[in-house]
Every structure is written in structure tokens, then in C-alpha cells.
Structure 1
């Protein structure tokens, strides 16, 4: 928007008006930045709260999953399991950990390690407990068994071949 020219003949008044206009624009910019920061802070608090609630519900989800694996699935149990997964998913809960995934120590806890001369890298061979995340936040790593190549001879970092 173009500044309107006021018929001010006194230079000191014109200078004062420009100063006040600059001050007002600076205060408005600071307020806009403050509003954006408050919005970001609120979103961060919400994400933390959702992650905390989801983390506390993981044992419930585990119990439902174990029940579905070991008991005959009744229509009621099927409904409970589906509703629970759907509602937790709507909050952003994402399960991960599948057989054949490359082992990533940032997302997997290796509960057992098996050596195979056919293996080229560490691969998850069995998922003992699913891992979960919300967005980029890890709630719980997956517990897995891995198969990997034999350790190089003389590599002091790796120790002896043994199961963990």
C-alpha cells in the first residue's frame, strides 16, 4: 500500500510521523512473530501430550494383539481390536517392524542375533514386539531377532560371535 502524503509542511512533524509509522510497523511485526511462536508452542505441547497418552496405551494395544493371536477371535474382540487400532491411528500412531526390514539400531532393539554366511547385512527375521512412532517421534523401538553376516576376524568392536 502506498503511503499517503499528508499536507504537512513542518519537517519535524513529517519526521515524527514517519518515526511513529516505523515503530507501529515494527510492533506489528513483533506481534505477528509472537502469535506464530505461540501457535508453534501450542502444537508442540499437543504433540507431546498425544505422544504421552499413546505411550501409556501401548501395553493395552499389546494385550489386545496377544489376545487376538492366542484366542479365538469373536466378533466383539474383533470390533475392540479394530476400533482401538483405528482410533490410535487417527491420533498419528504408526506401527513399524516387519520381517525382512533392514536392522536399524535407532528403531530396533535386537533381542537375538544369529549368524548366517548367506547374509549380506543385518536383517530382522522375527518381530517379537512391534515398534511405534508418532510422526518422527519414536515411542518404542521394535524388539526383533536379526540375522547377519559373520563378524570380520580381528574386529575388536564386535567381540565374539554369540547370541544376545
Structure 2
């Protein structure tokens, strides 16, 4: 009877070996599944990371573009403010220039005021030159055709020599700042005398 026990022991050891072999095989398949799952998780995380990187890159580009637009807008607004201020200031100086010119015209009729006229004429010319450096230009349209964009007709005079609509004289100069009209020239227009038949 002792023999069967030994056989029994051998059978047990054999079954243990078989189960060990099976459990080893099972570990390999479990390990393979774990490796595949790990790889899938890593790929998922990598895809998520690339997605986040793309999102961050897009956000960065948007913020950078917004910043550039803000800079450009600030520059444009500053230039507009400077131009508005310049236009306002020069517009406010125009009546003073008109007064100087009228005073010079009247004073030039008197010989005793000749030296004063020369001094004021120099000062007026200096002022006009400085303003022209900032883009101010005079509209003085005498002997030119009337242009409603730049001239303001205040009266008509009959003329045998000129066609209708020619500026005979300029009562008050007009001014432009760059391409912007500050004030139209006030003018007298010709009106051709019609010959009676």
C-alpha cells in the first residue's frame, strides 16, 4: 500500500507542474494584455497631450494676434488724436492769419506804415511757413474755374472778358490740411454779360 502513496505523491507533483505550466502561460497572456493596455493608455495620453499642445498653440497664436491688433489700434488711435488736435489748433489759428492779412492789406495803403507792414508781413509769412510744414496749404483760386468742393461763392460780378463761373477775386483764402478741407475759399464769380441782339 505504500506504493500507491508514492504514486499519489508523484501524481500530485505532476499536477502541480501542470498547474505551474498553466499558470505561467496564463501570466504571459496576462502580461501581454497588460502591455497592450499600457500601450493603449500611453497612446491615448500622447494623443491627449498633442491635442492640448495644439490647443495651447492656437491660444498662443490668438493671444499674439490680439496683442498685435491692440498695438496697431493704439498707434492708429494716437495718430488720429494727434491729427484731430493738429486740425483743431490750426483751424483756430486761421482767423488770426486772416486778421493779419486784412491788417496788412489796409496798412499797405499808408506810406507811413511801410516799416510796420514789412515787419508784420514777415511774421505772417513765418507763421504760414511753419503751418505749411504741418501740411497746411492755401486755396487761392483767383482766375480759376469754380470748384464747389473747395470754393464758396459769395457773389457774382458781370464780366465781358470772362466766361461764367471763373473766380474773379478771392475774398478770403481757403485752407486744406493734407487732403482735408479746413475751410473753403470765399470767392466772387464772373457772370458773362449777355449781348442783346
TM-score under structure 2 length normalisation:
0.64
Aligned to 1:111: 154
Aligned to 1:30: 66
Bigger relative contact order, structure 1 or 2, given CA contacts below 8 A and separation 6+?
1
Aligned to 1:59: 95
Specify every segment of 5 or more residues in structure 1 that has no aligned partner in the other structure, as ranges: 1-7, 151-164
Q: Which runs of 4+ in 1 moved over 6 A?
A: none
- In the TM superposition, what is the alpha-carbon distance from 1:97 to its structure 2 partner? 2.3
Larger Rg: 2
Mapped pair 1:133 → 2:133: no
Deviates more, 1:50-59 or 1:119-128: 119-128
Aligned to 1:143: 186
Q: Secondary structure at the match of 1:144?
A: strand
Name the count of aligned residue pairs. Answer: 144
Q: Deviations over 1:17-39 (max 9, x none)?
A: 11101110111111111111111
User: CA 1:19 to 1:28, structure 2 compared with 1: closer, same or farther past 3 Å?
Assistant: same
Q: Deviations over 1:78-102 (max 9, x none)?
A: 3311211112112221111221222
Higher helix share: 2
Mapped pair 1:82 → 2:125: yes
Structure 1 residue corresponding to 2:106, chosen from 70, 76, 79:
70
Aligned to 2:57: 21
Is the 8 Å Cα contact of residues 163 and 190 (structure 2) preserved in structure 1?
Answer: no
Aligned to 1:41: 77
Q: Deviations over 1:56-85 (max 9, x none)?
A: 111111111122323225453233112111
TM-score under structure 1 length normalisation:
0.76
Aligned to 1:124: 167
